[in-house]
Amino acid sequence: MFVPKNTKKKESSIYKSLYIKEELSKKIEEIAKINNTSYNNVIISMIEFCLLEENNENIKEKK
């Protein structure tokens, strides 16, 4: 289950911009509000979650 990460530990970051469909953006804003976190944190948490899941699947396939 996806849960946005805790933002207490800041890491070195860079700035990037994205174009996101309006409806998707609204859903992200809703997740951020429910979890009392930032829009940016939700996006980054989703990306990290997906990359971790993808990596786990690749490891399983190689076995």
Encode the chain (63 residues) as per-residue pLDDT tens digits.
777 777 667 778 899 999 999 999 999 999 999 999 999 999 999 998 988 876 676 666 665
- Nearest Cα to 43, choosing from 11, 18, 23, 22? 18
The Cα diameter of the chain in Å comes to: 40
Q: Does the reported pTM lie above 0.95?
A: no
DSSP state of 9: S
Residue 46 is predicted with a pLDDT of 93
Q: Do the beta carbons of residue 4 and residue 33 sit within 8 Å?
A: no
pLDDT of residue 45: 92
CB of 45 within 8 A of CB of 5? Answer: yes
SS3 38: coil
